[in-house]
Amino acid sequence: MDAKVTVFLIIFVLAMAFFAFSCYQRFKLVFKGRKENRTNSFFKRVWYMLLYAFGQKRVVSKPFGVNHFVLFWAFMILLISNSEFLLNGLFPSLSFSNLPDGAYFTLAAIFDIASGLALLSVIVAVIRRLIWPPPYTEGRSRDAFTILSMVGVLMIAYFGLKACDIAFAYNTDGAATYMPISNFVATHVFLNTIGLPSWANIFWWIHAAVLLSFLNYLPYSKHMHILTSIENCFLRSLDKVTTQPREEFTASTCTS
């Protein structure tokens, strides 16, 4: 077994074990609650899941909601790309490049564009939190910037890795033509760079380290909803919640 694969295998196993432990610690609280049937009205639940989780209905109705919608779908698409990345790190023979050209080129284009949209959404989100922080959340919290930074570094590492492959002529299968952003970076940044294989290896390890760190950070972050929002929309209570009217507080003048 290659030394790189061996090292990555050890890191991957440890990271996944810690992730499983963290999720167990969080989700075991759910099972302490009273049992309730949350699988009835199956098609209605599916509709709510499609509308609110995948359609982001409530999110897009708010300012900057479209940016979250774009980031959400870029993240969903890149789940496929990142899964392939991890599997390829463990089993180098497993790669989308083994697919027929039509399928492979299509995926290469989709992943490249989705990564670009994700990076753009991160930049917009950072600017928004710095200039127009949302009043109803901790817009400038360390947690928010940590997550955005991780996603941003992941995208930069992705483009760095792909661009190095293209510039060093690793990408001889024609996929570079269908990767506009990576191809642009390759031709304008890395084309005449010395030591491209080393740079590619650096970007690969950065991507791997940040991806596994991101996964293990989620259970301890408010962004745990990335792992639970889809299930929550399906398992939501279908009964109307009875609550007290919202209290309205106004300033009053105290007289004596």
CATH number for the domain including 73? 1.20.950
pLDDT at 254: 57
* CA-closest candidate to residue 119, choices 108, 111, 130: 111
CA distance 191 to 184: 10
Long-range contacts of 99-105 (CB under 8 A, 24+ apart): 101/173, 101/174, 104/173, 104/175, 105/174, 105/175, 105/177, 105/178
- Flag whether 246 is in a domain: no
Tell me if 148 is assigned to some domain. Answer: yes
What pTM, to 2 d.p., does this model score?
0.83
Residue 98 lies in a domain: yes
Cβ 190 vs Cβ 196: under 8 Å: yes
Residue with tokens 């301890």: 220
- Structural domain contains residue 125: yes
What's residue 202's pLDDT? 93
**Residue 223 domain-assigned (yes or no):** yes
Q: Both ends of the chain: CA-CA distance in Å?
A: 84
Domain total of the chain? 1
What amino acid occupies position 180?
P
Q: What is the pLDDT of residue 138?
A: 64
Q: Which residues form the domain of 222?
A: 68-232
Structural domain contains residue 244? no
Query: Among all chains, which residue has been given the structure tokens 């390759």?
Result: 186
Element housing 202 (H / E): helix 196-217
Note the pLDDT tens digit of each residue in 86-111: 999 999 988 998 899 899 999 999 99
For the chain, helix (H) and strand (E) counts, in that order, are 9, 0
* Sequential pLDDT tens for the chain (256 residues): 688 899 999 999 999 999 999 988 888 877 777 787 778 888 888 998 888 888 888 888 887 788 888 998 998 999 999 999 999 999 998 899 889 989 999 999 999 999 999 999 999 989 888 887 776 666 678 888 899 999 999 999 999 999 988 887 765 567 888 999 999 998 888 766 777 788 889 999 999 999 999 999 988 888 787 788 888 888 887 777 666 666 766 666 555 5
Residue 92 lies in a domain: yes
- On whether residue 131 sits in a domain, the answer given is yes
